[in-house]
Amino acid sequence: MYYLIGGLSVAVLATAITFAVVNIYLPKDPENGLLNGVSNEHEAITILGDMDFEDYDFLGNGTENNPYIIENYNITTTEDHAIYIKFTTKYFIIRNCTLSAINYGVYLGNITYGTSKIILNNCNNHLYSGIFLTDSSGSTIINNICNNNSNGITLEESSNVYLINNNCDKNNGFGIYLDYSNNASLTNNTCSNNHDGIKSYHSSNATLINNTCNDNDHRGINLESAHNMTLVSNSCYRNNHGISIDFSSNLTFINNTCNNNNLGVFIGVSSITTLINNTCNNNNEYGIWVDYNSDNATLINNTLNSNACGLLIWRCNYCFIGFNYFSENSDYAISISSLSENNTIHHNSFIDNNPGGTSQATDDGSNNIWFDNITDEGNYWSDWIGVGDYDIDGSALVVDPYPLSSPPVACYCRPLSF
């Protein structure tokens, strides 16, 4: 059976959506995290143009096939930076270094597109950022350790940057911070025990895949003024908010896990957000909160169990909520506030929510529909008596007129262009 829902072609299947995520790893020495045990003491490196590379005894000649290799250095300095490179067009790799300075481990500025790679370095204990890029697009940052800084890794006006397998823990600010940096790709990074794990501000068209953002003081992943972003298979446990979105649009979340937070997923003033196959369990407040003016949200195949409230729709319109699984939430599975209109809710499973209450859902909005008006099929309610309507609590005085006798199967969703 196929459905057309919010620009998605939906086929009903018994299995959930899965994504293959390719892990990319480089070998590390188990004792010190370096590629090998070699580490040479060196003074701070400052390069302000291509000619300055010649002041150092680096391997390579700066071409794409033979880049300068800055490697195996232990730089401990009281200067602002350990490695500082600006205004260059040459290709270079910073690799296998241990860097300790006052403000920055690695600072890159105004680097020609695609000429820099930063691989397998330790950049800890800086006042600003372990690795900092400004106007340095097309860079690659792989397998670095950036702990106990203000920010672990910062991108400022640097687009098309690849961040893979970096460990950014215990930073006072953000593990990874994207600031006006578009088209970033973040894969397999660990950003835990920071203020925010991953923060994106005015950055669009990024992809976040298989990142781990646990035990952060505020948010595991925070997107602000972000557009056309895709988040797949990220894990956000034990944060205040697992994932938090503000003033954004056209976001897609697939297969993310946001468990044991204060709030699983928060979406505020953000339109056209699609959430498919996410898990938000055991959160102290809400599994998912879709807040004010976050219209046209689509929630399909999500699992929301054992939260205080499964899903809150607060003053939002034209949202679709279908094929989700709600169980054992201590309050309502779904709560729809006043001034929420024209939302559609069907083919969800409601099992043992709001124990002792009169309904598993509440609706204080208007013109919200609790069934599919094409198939005349509603939702599965574990406490439905088997005949008649299912009553929904709330001032809207609505019912599900077509309760299902058994839980619906999951559905498979794909964009129509596929």
Give yes or no for a contact between 125 and 149, defined as CB atoms under 8 angstroms apart.
Answer: yes
Q: Determine the Cα–Cα distance for residues 296 and 343; give it in Å rounded to an integer.
A: 9
Task: Tell me whether residue 11 is exposed, middle or buried, using C-beta atoms within 10 angstroms of its C-beta: 0 to 12, 13 to 18, 19 or more.
Answer: exposed
Question: What pTM, to 2 d.p., does this model score?
Answer: 0.91
The DSSP secondary-structure symbol of 345 reads E
User: Considering Cα of 29, then 210, then 151, then 265, what sign does the dihedral take?
Assistant: negative
**Mean pLDDT (whole number) for 388-413:** 92
pLDDT on residue 411: 72
> By three-state DSSP, how is residue 50 classified?
helix
* H/E element, 215: none
pLDDT tens-digit series, residues 127-136? 999 999 999 9
Give yes or no for a contact between 224 and 203, defined as CB atoms under 8 angstroms apart.
Answer: no
Order of all β-strands in the sheet with 73-76: 40-41, 73-76, 98-100, 122-123
The DSSP secondary-structure symbol of 417 reads T
Q: Determine the Cα–Cα distance for residues 324 and 282; give it in Å rounded to an integer.
A: 16
pLDDT tens-digit series, residues 257-300? 999 999 999 999 999 999 999 999 999 999 999 999 999 999 99
pLDDT at 346 over 90: yes
Give yes or no for a contact between 184 and 159, defined as CB atoms under 8 angstroms apart.
Answer: yes
pLDDT at 230 over 70: yes
pLDDT on residue 409: 87
How many CB atoms are located within 10 Å of the residue 373 CB? 10
Which range marks the domain in which residue 361 is found? 2-415
Can you read off the two tokens belonging to residue 332?
């309502």
pLDDT tens-digit series, residues 14-59? 333 444 444 444 444 434 444 455 579 999 999 999 999 999 999 9
Give yes or no for a contact between 183 and 159, defined as CB atoms under 8 angstroms apart.
Answer: yes
pLDDT at 415 over 60: no
pLDDT at 195 over 50: yes
Task: Encode 133-169: b = buried (16+ Cβ within 10 Å), e = exposed.
Answer: bbebbbbbbbbbbbbebbbbbbbbbbbbbbbbbbbbb
Q: Determine the Cα–Cα distance for residues 169 and 123; give it in Å rounded to an integer.
A: 11
Nearest 10 degrees: CA dihedral of 51, 56, 62, 65? 170
**Mean pLDDT (whole number) for 112-134:** 98
Task: Tell me whether residue 386 is exposed, middle or buried, using C-beta atoms within 10 angstroms of its C-beta: 0 to 12, 13 to 18, 19 or more.
Answer: exposed
Which candidate, 203, 204, 274, 289, places its Cα nearest to that of 243? 289
Of the pLDDT bands very low, low, confident and very high (cuts 50, 70, 90), residue 12 is very low
Q: Number of folded domains in the chain?
A: 1
Q: How many CA atoms lie within 13 A of 35 on its CB side?
A: 16
Of the pLDDT bands very low, low, confident and very high (cuts 50, 70, 90), residue 413 is low
Q: What is the distance of C-alpha 376 from the center of its chain?
A: 36
pLDDT tens-digit series, residues 65-94? 999 999 999 999 999 999 999 999 999 999
pLDDT at 11 over 90: no
Average pLDDT value over all residues in the chain: 92
Q: Which domain CATH number covers 220?
A: 2.160.20.10
